[in-house]
Chains A and B, each alone.
Chain A
C-alpha cells in the first residue's frame, strides 16, 4: 500500500485567508485543489508538504463569469468546463484540450488551476520512493544528476498539462494573488523552460482566475497524442488559433505541449503564415519549422525519433482543422475516444 505521509490540513474560506496561510509557512505548505496531482506525488514522496491548504471551500474560486471574454475561477473543475456551452462554442481549442485530460473521474476532481500548475513529468521522477532511491535520486528531487541527460545542468522534465498550450494559443491571462497584492500576467509568462522551476509563480501566490479574451471570430483547436484514449498524459499536444480576413491569416498562434519543460510557442512557424492563406504548401512549410523547434527528450512514452517526426503531422492536422477541412476521421484515429460523448 502507498500511504500518504503525515500532513496538517487547513481549509480557508477565502482567497485572502488562504494567502495569509501560504505566507506564514514559506516552503512548507502546498495548495491542494482537486488533489489529483499533488496526492500521487505525496504518495511517491516527490512532494512532502507539512501543510496542505485546501482550496475546495473558497467559493470565489468556483465561478465562471462573462467579462470581455470569459473569466474562469481556478477552482472550476474540468468537468464543469467541458459542460459549459460558452467554452465549447467560443473556445473549442480549450474545450478539446480539457475533454481529453485524464479520465471522467479525474476531470470530476481536477481543476483548471491545478492543471495549469501541474508538476512537470519524467520517467525517472514519477516513480515511488524505493524505485528512485534504487537508481539514486535525480536532480529534481533529493539528488544531483539528471538521468535523462547526465551532463545537463538543468532538469528536463516535461510540461504535461493539456490546458496550458490551448490557453497560450488563446492569449489567456492569469491573476495571481498573494498576501502582498495581486498581479495579472499573460499565461505565456507564467512558464519557464526549467523542469524544476517551471512556473514563475512565487511560492506565496495563489492563481485565482484565468481570463480569456473575447474570441471575436477566432478559430481554435487542440490535437493530443497519447497511447490510450483515456488516462494517459499527452506525449504531444498541438494547440492552434487563428483569425482570418477572407482566407488570409491575420493573427495566428501555434503552441506545442509535452516537448519541453514549458508549453512552447512556435512563433517562427506562426510568422511564416501571417498574411498568407493556409494552402497545403504553406501548411507544410510551417509544420516543418514547428517540428524543428520541438526538442523532446527520451523521458516519456514512445520512442524519441518517432515523437519528433509526429510533430510535423500534428501541426499539419491542427492547421488543416483551422482551415475548415473535415478532419473527423483523423480526430477519432488519434483521440481514440469520441469527443462528442464527453460531458
Chain B
C-alpha cells in the first residue's frame, strides 16, 4: 500500500444515539461505522463480510433505515441514531424476530443473521404485514450461504403474528 493507516494519529469525537442510549465515542478518523462499532464501542454483533457493499453482513439501522455500516464513515454519524443487532432484545427478552429465526432454523452458521434481523425489523416497522414478495425484496441485499433463504422468509412471516399479538397484549416495549 502506498500509505499506512498506522501513521494516522488523528482522532474524531462524536455523539450518537446507540441502541436507544446516548453514546460518546472517539476513534481514528478514517474508520467506518462498522469499525467504530466493533473496535471502539465493544459491539461485535455487526459482522465484517466483504467490506465493499456486496453482502449485507454489516447492516445496521441508521435513523431507522437499513444501511451498510462498512460504507459509512464514522465521521458522518455524529448526532444520528444507530441500532445494531445488540439493540433488538429488551430487558433480557428477545425480539420476536430473534425467537422466530431460532424456531424456524433461519440461522445456521449465523454469520448473516444480525444483518437479516435488523433489515427485517426495519421492514416490519414500516410495513407490519408485508407480502412474501415484499419480504424477499427487502432482504435482497443480504446474502446467506447456508439456509437457502426459505427458512428466513418463513421466520419473518412467523414473526408478523407474534408482533401483532405483542401489540394487542400491550407488550409494546418488545417491538
* A is bound by B: yes
Interface flag for B87 (CB, 8 Å):
no
Interface flag for A40 (CB, 8 Å):
yes
Q: Mostly helix, strand, loop or mixed at chain A's interface?
A: loop
Interface flag for A148 (CB, 8 Å):
no
Determine whether the beta carbon of B66 is less than 8 Å from that of A2.
no
Determine whether the beta carbon of B67 is less than 8 Å from that of A54.
no
Contacts of A2 in B (CB 8 A): 51-52
- B123-165: which residues lie under 8 A (CB-CB) from chain A? 131, 133-134, 136-138, 140-141
Indicate with 1 or 0, residue by residue over A104-117, a CB within 8 angstroms of chain B CB atoms: 11101100000000
Interface flag for B99 (CB, 8 Å):
no
Determine whether the beta carbon of A341 is less than 8 Å from that of B131.
yes
In whole angstroms, how far apart are the Cα atoms of A102 and B67 in the complex? 12
Interface flag for B56 (CB, 8 Å):
yes
Closest to B12 in A: A9
- Taking the closest CB of chain B, its distance from the CB of A4, in whole angstroms, is 5
Determine whether the beta carbon of B51 is less than 8 Å from that of A104.
no
Interface flag for B8 (CB, 8 Å):
yes
Interface centre among B54, B68, B119, B137 (most CB of A within 10 A): B137
Closest to A79 in B: B65
Interface flag for B75 (CB, 8 Å):
yes
Determine whether the beta carbon of A43 is less than 8 Å from that of B134.
no
- Taking the closest CB of chain A, its distance from the CB of B36, in whole angstroms, is 12
Partner of B51, one of A43, A105, A106, A341: A43
In whole angstroms, how far apart are the Cα atoms of A60 and B138 in the complex? 29
- B48-82: which residues lie under 8 A (CB-CB) from chain A? 48, 51-54, 56, 59, 65-68, 71-73, 75-76
Query: Chain B interface: which size bin?
Result: 35 or more
In whole angstroms, how far apart are the Cα atoms of A338 and B141 in the complex? 14
Known A-B contacts A3-B5, A5-B5, A104-B66; the reply to A35 vs B73 at CB < 8 A is yes
Determine whether the beta carbon of A105 is less than 8 Å from that of B48.
no
Determine whether the beta carbon of B65 is less than 8 Å from that of A108.
yes
Determine whether the beta carbon of A104 is less than 8 Å from that of B30.
no
Chain A interface residues (CB < 8 Å from chain B):
1-9, 11, 32, 35-36, 39-40, 43-45, 48, 52, 54, 56, 79, 102-106, 108-109, 129, 229-231, 337-338, 340-342
Q: List 24 A-B contacts (CB under 8 A).
A: A2-B51, A4-B5, A4-B32, A4-B73, A5-B3, A6-B30, A7-B29, A7-B30, A35-B73, A35-B76, A36-B53, A36-B71, A54-B75, A102-B141, A104-B66, A104-B141, A105-B68, A109-B72, A229-B140, A231-B141, A338-B136, A341-B133, A341-B138, A342-B137
